[in-house]
Structure 1
Amino acid sequence: MRPVTSLALAALALTAALGTAPAASATAAAPAGTSAAAAFHCDPGHFCIYSGWDGGGTRCQWTAEKVANTADLCSFIRNGKNVLSLWNGTGHRVQYYTQTNYNARVGSTAAGHGGNLQGSYQIRSFKKQ
């Protein structure tokens, strides 16, 4: 009976760990010896958002310090699609918002990081810190 209890506790711990990770913060770092930035195809110095998971789908990218309305230059945002992943290739933390003009902050990502998001919202504005 003891091995079943240990397995159940391990499964519960794993579920708790995965369930408490912040959905609005993309913080995946590149594993040693690999380049996550290359997997996301984001030019150096750019903040990139994607319509697909893991940097797939349509990419929109910017070098600007801040963008008040991402739909101005991003077709998939303009067409109503959500952001499923992002990569921050800038030298600064980037805060992002679900509304234009930097309203309704939903998350932030450190420089040189990125990953999959919750996928239930659009990034309508952002600014570097």
Structure 2
Amino acid sequence: MRIQRALAVTALAAGLTATGLTGSSSAASAAYSCPVGNVCFYSGSNGTGSRCNWSADDPDWRSGSVVCSWSSSYPVKSVYNNAYFDVAYFLGASYTSYVGCTSLGDSGNLVGDYKLRSHDLGGC
């Protein structure tokens, strides 16, 4: 019985590794921690570093309803859109100087050094 149980555990571990569901992928997805219904921007790549998050549009990250304290000093390196709409982001206040768009449920790194200042949910 013990041998069968040990073989079953070994087979399960091998199956998880074959499908890519190992501890390292769990750690990678944990880096993109973002509340449901929010868009999150990070100072580090792959959802690491400092995080600022919103559940609505913000025309000015430096003086809006949510102030992102690091956004004027450090560029945004990654984004996770866990909101209910696509999100467009901009270098300027009031949605000026478009940089890019991230679809609902997507995450990733930004190529370049962008000190973002506003975003528009549903603006893509």
- Residue 92 (structure 1) aligned with residue 79 (structure 2): no
Amino acid at match of 2:37: G
Match of 2:42 in 1: 50
Equivalent runs, 1:1-129 vs 2, <5 Å: 38-64=30-56, 66-72=57-63, 73-78=67-72, 80-129=73-122
Q: Which has the higher helix share?
A: 1
> Unmatched 5+ residue regions in structure 2?
1-19
Pairwise CA RMSD of aligned residues? Answer: 2.0
> Unmatched 5+ residue regions in structure 1?
1-31
Q: Which has the higher strand share?
A: 2
CA distance in 2, matches of 1:70, 1:61: 10
CA distance in 2, matches of 1:84, 1:37: 16
SS of 1:67's equivalent in the other structure is: coil
TM-score normalised by length of structure 1: 0.68
CA distance in 2, matches of 1:104, 1:116: 19
Q: After the TM superposition, which parts of structure 1 deviate over 4 Å for at least 4 consecutive aligned residues? A: 32-37
Identity across the alignment (%) = 36
TM-score normalised by length of structure 2: 0.70
Alpha-carbon shift at residue 71 of structure 1 (Å): 2.0
Structure with the bigger RCO (C-alpha within 8 Å, sep 6+) is 1
